[in-house]
A and B are shown apart, each in its own frame.
Chain A
Amino acid sequence: MAEISGVKLQIAGSRGDTKRVPLAVVFLILLQPGMAMVNTQQGAVPGRIVSIVPSVTEMLFAIGAGSQVVGVSSFVRFPDEVSMLPRVGALLDPDMEQIFSLRPDLVILYRSQSDTREQIERAGISVFTYAHGGLLDVSETMRELGRLTGYRSQADRVARGIDTDLAVIRHRVAGRERPRVLLVLGRDPDMVRNVYASGGIGFLHDMLDAAGGANVFAGVSREAVQPTTEGILGAAPDVIIEVRTDGLLTPIDAQNSLVVWDRWSMIPAVRSGRVHFLMANELVVPGPRVATATERLAQILHPEAF
């Protein structure tokens, strides 16, 4: 993947040459999840960036381009600077008027927001699209952003830092027995029903893997799985980790909500008391803090190594 991205990055670097990109390469680019696509029309570094994607917003601040960010998503919480920036909506409800009123020269959207993208490009504004991918895509996207915004070296440095941190974690848990983990992203409140768990692809699965855990649904090639009761019982996880963004519940309520698992004492994780509720924004936003998030997971799975 690195080689192909190298090819792709080179092309994007020579702005204005996009028209001469061979069709085959364009096709390859379109197949890469998590890769960015840029429609550049100006040669200058974008000075006013609006970002609807919280993870990209975090990355921009991490690589030093924070001063260029003029509008952010309604859902972003990190870093603190974003609290003073105007909100432009989110995935389902982008506020076009607000976006245009901020006079951006680069807008960052989700890959699936094709209508929004069309509207913005028609106005002559560049668009950078993003889709969640695996753990590797985090550093790749960061490097890409570095090139886009003119903070290449800082981006490379931060990306390298993340890669290093992850490598350290991987090293620490290497050789240890991997517990079977059910990573729960959501469920009916107060009941174990309509459980929404991490599947075998995506950044959450990768983080779990790096943290030394074995995802019970590693064999399912989807990012999210809604297993049946049978699926959960059959999976017999050794550890259950419920993952949520923070701010939804107080820590006490979070702990209390775990009582719903008491009925399920036949599951090994419940029997041995290894059910955890993690409320952390960094766990659901695949941005510069992924290494921190992975470390939190690793601490739960292999406490003796940390």
Chain B
Amino acid sequence: MLQADSVSFGYDGTPVLHAVSLNAPRGQRLGILGPNGSGKTTLLRLLAGFVRPEAGQVLLGGNAISRLPRAAVARRMALVPQETHLAFDYSVIEIALMGRYPYLSPLEFEGPQDLAIARDALRATGTDKLEDRSFTTLSGGEKQRVIIASALAQLTPAKVAVSTAVDSVLLLDEPTASLDLGYQLELVSTLRTLNQDRPITMVVSTHDLNFAASLCHELVLLRDGRVIATGPTESVLTRANIRALYDVDVDITRHAAAGHLAVVPIARIPLAAD
């Protein structure tokens, strides 16, 4: 569904990504893991189409996104940023309706269809009761879910219910960064449900190992702009890989109650002398 084909990118001559490839097939939940400065954010921006790679290309549904019209990309791929700061105060329903932008012409007003889709999206993330609340008064977790709802509304073609199967991609940038523990768990559950129902292919950039372990089918480990490992979570999330990624020694166990791998950091490994 979403592919990065050996993309490279640099800012003002400083290389950031070297020949990075990844593949997120339809319906998969893919995690991009790496320390700060590994190029995660840049990779996500490349995948979203905000910047063009210096080499290689990004493909959405088999088509290079650089060749697709802006609105066409927006109808198939949505982004949930790490944080959303509004300059002015909008209501929750207005934020959800903003997801309908790629379906309307500049002077067109949202129709009853759009309103229904927006409402459905809010319901899907459990935020329909907040419809008239002002966005800035919400908690971190509530805001996150409203933005996801807005993304959902964006990925739903006109004349179709939110629950209909449509090929689409949701990109999430550090979604747990500002969330309480409770909301983090809730987020995993929401994303899983959305992914299974629609299905929506998901690409999540995170440095939260346990979150990645609980959510993602496959992982891409990124360090210093290069992929050091990629594959199913179970096989990629190993002590050796974590050590290579974070210079940290960890203990990884299959946690029975949680139902997924659990990572416990043990000690920092001093950096080897060059």
Whether A and B touch (Cβ < 8 Å) is answered with no
On A, residues with C-beta under 8 Å from B are none
On B, residues with C-beta under 8 Å from A are none
